[in-house]
Amino acid sequence: MITFENIDVVYPNGFKGLSNVNLQIDKGEFVAIVGLSGAGKSTLIRTVNGLVPFTSGTLKVGDEVVDPRSKAKLRRLRSRVGMIFQSFNLVTRVSVLNNVLVGRSAETPTWRSLLGWYRAEDKELAFKSLERVGIVDKAYMRASSLSGGQQQRVAIARVLAQDPEVILADEPVASLDPPTAHKVMRDLRRIQQELGITTIVNMHHLDLARSYADRIIGMRAGEVVFDGPVEEATDAVIEEVYQRSLTAEDIVAGDAAAESSAAGDAAARDSATEGAVTERSVPAAKAQD
Partner 1 sequence: MTTTADEATRGSATRAVTARPEAPKPSGLVYLGLAGLAVLAFIIFWVTRDSGEILLIPLGFVTLWAPLYPVIGLAVMLLTLLVCYRARVGTMGGFGALAFITMSYWAGSTVNFTLLEIPSRWSNVEPRLRAFLDPNWSYIWTVRDQWLITISMAVVATLIGCAIGLVLAMLASPVSSPNKGVSQAIKAVNSVIRSIPDVGWALLFVAFIGGTAHGLGPMAGVLALLMFNIGIVAKLLSETIDSVNPGPVEAADAAGANLTQRNRLAILPQVLPGFVSYGLYVFELNIRASAALGIVGVGGIGSAIMLQLNRFAFENVAAILIALIVVVLLVDMFSMYIRRKLL
Q: Which residues bind partner 1 (CB under 8 A)?
A: 49, 51, 75-79, 81-83, 85, 87-91, 93-94, 98, 102-103, 105-106, 108, 110, 113-114, 155, 158-159, 162, 168
Least distance in angstroms from the C-beta of 122 to partner 1 = 13
Q: What share of the chain is helix, strand, coil (3-state, %, to 5)?
A: 45, 20, 35
Burial of 207 (0-12, 13-18, 19+ CB in 10 A): middle
CB-nearer residue toward partner 1: 49 or 261 = 49
Of 72 and 256, the one with the shorter C-beta distance to partner 1 is 72
Which residue, 168 or 258, has its beta carbon nearer to partner 1?
168
| Distance in angstroms between the alpha carbons of the first and the last residue of the chain | 29
What is the C-alpha to C-alpha distance for residues 198 and 39, in angstroms, rounded to an integer? 22
Quick one: 110 or 278, whose CB is closer to partner 1?
A: 110
Report whether 133 contacts 185 (CB < 8 A). Answer: no
Q: How far is the CB of 161 from partner 1 (least distance, A)?
A: 8
Q: How far is the CB of 110 from partner 1 (least distance, A)?
A: 5
H/E element, 170: strand 166-170
Smallest distance, Å, CB 8 to partner 1?
Answer: 22
Comparing CB distances to partner 1, the nearer of 22 and 113 is 113
Closer residue to partner 1, CB minimum distance, 170 or 240: 170
**Amino acid (one-letter) located at 26:** D
Q: For residues 98 and 261, which CB has a smaller minimum distance to partner 1 in the complex?
A: 98
What 3 state SS string does 223-248 have?
EEEEEEEHHHCCHHHHHHHHCCCCCH
CB of 116 to partner 1, least distance (A): 8
For residues 213 and 228, give the distance between their C-alpha atoms in angstroms, rounded to a whole number: 11
Nearest-approach distance from CB 71 to partner 1, in angstroms: 9
Q: In terms of DSSP bridges, do strands 16-25 and 2-10 run parallel, antiparallel, or are they unpaired?
A: antiparallel
62 vs 178, beta carbon nearer partner 1: 62
Query: Which residue in 254, 237, 222 sits closest to 288, CA to CA?
Result: 237
Q: How far is the CB of 158 from partner 1 (least distance, A)?
A: 7
What number of CA atoms fall less than 13 Å from residue 28's CA on the CB side?
11
Alpha-carbon distance of 134 to 271, in angstroms, equals 26
What is the smallest separation between the CB atom of 47 and partner 1, expressed in angstroms? 13
Residues with Cβ within 8 Å of residue 208, at least 6 apart in sequence = 32, 173, 181, 182, 185, 252
